[in-house]
Amino acid sequence: MENELEQIRQRLDNEISLRNTTEQEPREKETIINEQRTTAETQGQTFEEELNLRTGQIESKETALRDLRRLLVEERQQKTDLEERLRNLQLEMEEERDRRASTERELNTATERQTHQTRDWIIQRKEVVLSGKVLGKGAWGEVLEGSFRSCQVAVKKIHDMILSDHNRKLFEREMTIASCCRHPNLLQFIGATNDDGHLLFVTELLEISLRRLLSQRALNDEEIVSLSMNVAKGLNYLHLNRPHPIIHRDISSANVLLWRRDEC
């Protein structure tokens, strides 16, 4: 009897234990499912945040790419504009060179025409009588005392070795200019030869150069002021010449010639 009761008690304990186990399994499964759901939601939020972040980065990069493309288009347009301006400037420079060349040709033609028309400065060599007295020497030649039509004159004799075609044109131009200059403070030009011999440049004869005078004695204040004013007046006349000013470019004491005004 006791054995039967013991057996019945064990069966009841087993049934109770089995029932408790059966009741705990759903709760554990539910807990696991809840935990998994929470984990999944957390991961989903994380994935969504990461997706939003990457989407924002992609949008930023797309915006930067669009800006770069716009800048590239603008730079290409600027390059095109600069190339167009460069071409226009080159065309303008070529046109300016053509105009300048045309102007120079016209000027040379006019100068040559004027030179041929105004060669009234040419004198005959036989009218110039040279003495053996040398008044000075320079790079272009030597200056001798002589006479022209019974008047005492200074004659610059040009070296043959420097008379190239170019220098002869320069000489003719200088003679043409000198023949047009008339002023009390400029050396009076008389004429020049223009044949195949030594070129002779004839001017009035003055007594002494400023350099030679300074080597003999000092100038007083009155003389300094007077000489300075005379030189300035002569240069002013040249600089105001029309239509083109004349620049001497070689003012020195050797090129300032003097004549005696009185015996004081």
- Ordered DSSP codes for 117-185: HT-TTB--GGGEEEEEEEEEE-SSEEEEEEEETTEEEEEEEE-GGG--HHHHHHHHHHHHHHHT---TT
pTM above 0.85, yes or no: no
Burial level of 130, CB count in 10 A (0-12/13-18/19+)? middle
Q: What is the DSSP letter of 188?
A: P
Q: Average pLDDT, stretch 164-177?
A: 81
Asked if residue 250 lies in contact with residue 235, where contact means CB atoms within 8 angstroms, the answer is: no
Mean pLDDT over 194-212 rounds to 88
Q: How confident is the model at residue 46 (pLDDT cuts 50, 70, 90)?
A: confident
Indicate the pLDDT class of residue 165, thresholds 50, 70 and 90.
confident
Specify the amino acid at residue 9: R
Spatial distance between the Cα atoms of 163 and 2, rounded to a whole number of angstroms: 163
SS3 208: strand
Once rounded to an integer, what is the mean pLDDT over residues 163-180?
A: 81
Question: What whole-number distance in Å separates Cα of residue 125 and Cα of residue 93?
Answer: 49
Share of the chain above pLDDT 70, in %: 82
Name the DSSP letter for residue 219. P
Does 231 have pLDDT greater than 80?
Answer: yes
Which of the residues 120, 221, 250, 262 is marked catalytic? 250
Of 18-22, 34-38, 52-56, least confident by mean pLDDT is 18-22
The Cα–Cα gap between 33 and 182 comes to: 125
The confidence score (pLDDT) of residue 264 equals 43
Residue 115 has a pLDDT of 52
- Output the pLDDT for position 42: 79
Find all residues with CB under 8 Å of 61, minimum gap 6, and list them: none
Instruction: Flag whether pLDDT at 20 surpasses 70.
Output: no
- Contact of 119 with 173, CB cutoff 8 Å: no
The mean per-residue pLDDT over the stretch 37-51 comes to 77
Cα–Cα distance measured from residue 110 to residue 171, given in angstroms and rounded to the nearest whole number: 17
Q: Report the chain's mean pLDDT, rounded to a whole number.
A: 82
Active-site annotation holds for 250: yes
> Which region among 98-107, 159-168, 234-243 has the lowest average model confidence (pLDDT)?
159-168
**Structure token digits, residue 143:** 């200056």
Instruction: Check pLDDT > 70 for residue 130.
Output: yes
The token duo for 175 is 């003679």
Please, which pLDDT band fits residue 169 given cuts at 50, 70 and 90?
confident
C-alpha dist (Å) from residue 134 to 51, 175, 178, 193, 250: 108, 22, 23, 19, 21
With 80 as the cut, is the pLDDT of residue 175 above it?
Answer: yes
Asked if 226 and 174 count as a contact pair (C-beta separation under 8 A), the reply is no
